[in-house]
Amino acid sequence: MASPSKAAAAVAAAYARVRERLAAAAARGGRPPESVGLVAVTKSASLDQILALVGAGHQDLAENRVQALGARITALASEPIAASVRWHMIGHLQRNKVEQVVGRVSLIHSVDSLRLAEALEAAAAKRNTPPVDVLIELNISGEASKYGLAPGDLAALAAHIATLPHLRLRGLMTMAPYSDRPEDSRPIFARCRRLFETLRADLGPSVDTLSMGMSGDFEVAVEEGATLVRIGRALFG
Ligand SMILES: *Cc1c(COP(=O)(O)O)cnc(C)c1O
């Protein structure tokens, strides 16, 4: 186990490197670096690593499981430096757990069914929260092992969410099938980008977030138009 100061230095260096790679990928796509947000996925990180990242000025953190999210929020509650953190829920969400997420996160990336959208609406209505920002997760590859909505069902779910007063649809999220070759993800990301543009044309500029790209393929995702990337291993090892 590295000492806390060594862990902090390693995270700060990895963060700077990821930021450089993001900026270069944005430039290749003809976009300014600030057009791409970075969500740090903390599922494999230590508390020291998280605090080092937050200490370096980073605000957006994510977990993919509800229980881990709750544990992280509790662990950071006593750390004054973490007051500015915004949490993202990026993993599969079960309807019976929505109460543990609504009001605690700034964006839910993983809405993939009408029944889940309705459960979120009900939880937000009950607590009378401001509109909950959500993305629809698409399963573009059609892999059976992946969560996410089939692209053919996108228009109907988006239209339904638009009728729910406590939800605000901000865009789309997708994951490419696992591969060692980042280029394998490009057609998936390009397809998601086209679906995103169609959604934005239908619903307007409040649809502004395209969450795609992980440690193995985030540069390709940014070249294909991602506005948010979700990165764990490249930051925390
Ligand atoms: C773990 C995870 C990531 C980050 O993956 P890395 O390969 O560690 O960058 C991104 N998105 C989701 C949904 C995840 O579960």
The two tokens of residue 78 are 């006593």
Q: Which atom of ligand 1 is nearest to the CA of 91?
A: 13
Radius of gyration of the chain (CA): 17
Ligand 1 center to residue 229 CA distance, Å? 9
Q: Which atom of ligand 1 is nearest to the CA of 233?
A: 8
- The CB of 65 under 6 Å from ligand 1? The reply is no
Substitution candidate for ligand 1 out of 64, 146, 192 with most atoms within 8 A of CB? 64
pLDDT tens digit string along 151-176?
Answer: 999 999 999 999 999 999 999 999 99
pLDDT tens digit string along 87-134?
Answer: 999 999 999 999 999 999 999 999 999 999 999 999 999 999 999 999
State in Å, rounded, how far the first CA of the chain is from the last one.
Answer: 13
pTM above 0.85, yes or no: yes
User: Quick one: average pLDDT of 54-73?
Assistant: 97
Judge whether residue 216 has pLDDT over 60.
Answer: yes
Please give the share of the chain, as a percent, with pLDDT higher than 90: 94
- The CB of 195 under 6 Å from ligand 1? The reply is no
pLDDT tens digit string along 134-156?
Answer: 999 999 999 888 899 999 999 99
The two tokens of residue 145 are 């092992």
Ligand 1 center to residue 99 CA distance, Å? 23
User: Quick one: average pLDDT of 179-194?
Assistant: 97
User: Quick one: average pLDDT of 204-231?
Assistant: 98
Give the pLDDT score at 149. 97
Substitution candidate for ligand 1 out of 61, 87, 90, 137 with most atoms within 8 A of CB? 90
Give the pLDDT score at 8. 86
Ligand 1 center to residue 158 CA distance, Å? 24
Judge whether residue 186 has pLDDT over 90.
Answer: yes
Q: Ligand 1, atom 14: nearest CA belongs to which residue?
A: 64
Q: Ligand 1, atom 11: nearest CA belongs to which residue?
A: 230
Judge whether residue 1 has pLDDT over 60.
Answer: no
User: What is the spatial distance between Cα 185 and Cα 173, in angstroms, rounded to a whole number?
Assistant: 14
Q: What is the mean pLDDT of the chain?
A: 96
- Decide: helix, strand or coil at residue 209: strand
Sorting pLDDT into bands at 50, 70 and 90, what band is 4?
A: low
CB 135 within 8 A of CB 211: yes
Give the pLDDT score at 139. 97
Give the pLDDT score at 3. 66
